[in-house]
Amino acid sequence: MRQAYTAALSAVILTIVGCGGSNFLIYKDAKHYYMTNKSDNLRKVLCDSGDLARITRDAQLSEDLRKELFASMCTQDKVKEHVLAVLEKMTKEQRSALKLAFQNNGYQINTIANC
């Protein structure tokens, strides 16, 4: 029952916040994070593992954009607004390619699994 309530609440929150914006939710290994999350766990999952480098390469982002995204995401002093600024300056096509690359690398996007 609690899981159903959590899943329903998450769906409502995602609807209110909006999944179409620049920030998006990623889900992997039974954990979910917003791209702008300052969590050390997110940094470990994306940066320390090498996933973000692989994902941005698979998305065929320019080298400058890849470096900027990596610099904004993979720092101890991550600033939500800086990550958002990088994501917002990306074109819709670049964000779509990034989301697809996440999915192709084992992540779910804008989904919270009912574990």
What is the pTM for the complete model shown? 0.74
What are the CA-CA distances from residue 82 to residues 1, 18, 23, 44, 48 (Å)? 38, 19, 11, 19, 20
Annotate 18-40 with three-state secondary structure: CCCCCCCEEEECCEEEECCCCCH
pLDDT at 92: 92
| pLDDT at residue 19 in the model | 40
pLDDT in tens, the chain (115 residues): 555 444 444 443 433 343 445 677 888 888 888 888 888 899 999 999 999 999 999 999 999 999 999 999 998 888 999 999 998 999 999 999 999 999 999 999 886 554 4
Q: Please, what is the average pLDDT of the chain?
A: 81
Predicted pLDDT at 5: 43
Domain borders along the chain are 2-109
